[in-house]
Amino acid sequence: MIFVDACFGKKTPYTPVWMMRQAGRYLPEYMAVRAQAGDFLSLCKDPQKACEVTLQPVDILGVDAAILFSDILVVPLEMGMELKFLQGEGPIFSNPIKNQADLDKLSVQKAVEGLEYVYETIRLIRGKLAADKALIGFCGAPWTLATYMIEGQGTKTYAQVKKLIYTNPQFMHALLKKVTEVLKLYMERQIQSGTDVVMIFDSWAAALEESAYFEFSWSYMKEISSYLKAKYPHIPVILFPKGISGYLDKIDGDFDVFAVDWSTPIELAQEKLGHKYVLQGNMEPTRLYSQDAIDEGIEHIVSVMKNKRHIFNLGHGILPDVPVENAKYFIKQVQTLTKI
C-alpha cells in the first residue's frame, strides 16, 4: 500500500494524499445516506451506512486512503455519558463530569465492548476497500475528549477544564488515565478489526500553555502510541496536535507520522521534526474554494517537501461548502505533480 509505505518513510511513486473529513457534508452522496440514517449519531452506529460513506471519497475523489467514518465522542458516549448532536449547536453532553463520583460511574470495559458497531464497520470497509488502499482508524486524544466531557460541549474559553488543571490536577489526571485506558483498547480493537493505520486527533491542543500541554495532553498521546507500537509495530501511528507550532522542539515519542496543521509553516515542521518523523499536511483548507489557490498551495508544499518524507493532506478538515470538483482537482493535482 502506497499510503502505508509513505507512513514508514519508504519511497513511493508519488506523494499519497487524503483529506481529513473527506467523508462528509460537501458530498451530495454523503448527504443522501445521512438523510436515510436520520441523524448523525444514527449514521455512526449503522455499520452498513458508515461503511458506505467511508468508501465514497475513495470512489469519487480517488484518495489513497479511506478514513473510518465515526466520531471521537462515541468513546465517552459508550463509557456512560449522554450525548446528543443538536442542529446548529454541535455535540452536547447533558451530564458533564463534575467530580470523582461522576468519573467512577464511567466504565472502561463497557465502552470497549459497546463500540462493537465501530469494529463491525471496519470489518465491512476492509472487505470492500481495494487491497491497495489503506484504511485509517482513529480516536480523539485524551485531552480533547476530557475537555468535552467536563465542559459538556464545544468551548472557546476552556474555563471549566483548565480550572481543574490548576485547582485539582489529581482529578484531571485520574480522568485522563481512565480515558487513555479506553483508547488503548479501542485502538487495539480497531487494528484487530482491519485498520491499516491509526491516527489520534488532538483538536484542542492549542488551549494549553507549554508545560500543561506536555503534562496533560502529549504524555497521554505518547502513552497510547507506545502501547500500540509495542504490540503492532507494522501499524503506522499518526499524531495530530492542532496549533502547537511553538512547542515542536519538545515533540518526541514512539510514533511514525506527525500531522501538521495549517497554521504551522511546513518549513518549520520540516526543520524541527522532519528528521524524526514523516510529516503529513498541511494545506490551508479554504484554498479548496479556488483552483488557482489549490495550485499555489500545492506548489509551495511540494517546493519544501520534494524528496522528503511526506503525506499530502489539508491542515485541518475539508469544509462543508467546498465544491466537489475542487476536491477532485486537489487530489489529482497532488498525485500528478509529485510523480517521481
> Cβ distance 66 to 60 under 8 Å?
no
> Cβ distance 106 to 178 under 8 Å?
yes
Share of the chain above pLDDT 70, in %: 100
Predicted confidence at residue 106, as pLDDT, reads 97
Predicted confidence at residue 155, as pLDDT, reads 86
Predicted confidence at residue 194, as pLDDT, reads 98
Cell, residue 164: 481543574
pLDDT level of residue 154 (50, 70, 90 thresholds):
confident
Please tell me the distance from the alpha carbon of residue 157 to that of residue 212, in angstroms, as a whole number. 16
pLDDT level of residue 56 (50, 70, 90 thresholds):
very high
How many other CB atoms are found less than 10 A from the CB of residue 166? Answer: 9
Predicted confidence at residue 340, as pLDDT, reads 82
Predicted confidence at residue 87, as pLDDT, reads 77
Counting beta carbons within 10 angstroms of the beta carbon of residue 84, is it exposed (0 to 12), middle (13 to 18) or buried (19 or more)?
Answer: middle
Predicted confidence at residue 75, as pLDDT, reads 98
CATH number of the domain bearing residue 226: 3.20.20.210
Residue (of 28, 120, 113) closest to 69 by Cα position: 120
- Containing structural domain, residue 62: 2-337
Predicted confidence at residue 45, as pLDDT, reads 97
Phi, psi of 93 (to 5 degrees): -100, 120
Distance from chain centroid for Cα 300: 24
The SS3 of residue 139 is strand
Mean pLDDT of 127-131: 97
* Residues designated as active site: 21, 25, 34, 71, 148
Predicted confidence at residue 219, as pLDDT, reads 98
Predicted confidence at residue 90, as pLDDT, reads 86
Q: What is the pLDDT of residues 204-244, one digit of tens each?
A: 999 999 999 999 999 999 999 999 999 999 999 999 999 99
> Cβ distance 52 to 17 under 8 Å?
no
Number of structural domains in the chain: 1
- This prediction has a pTM of 0.97
Mean pLDDT of 135-140: 98
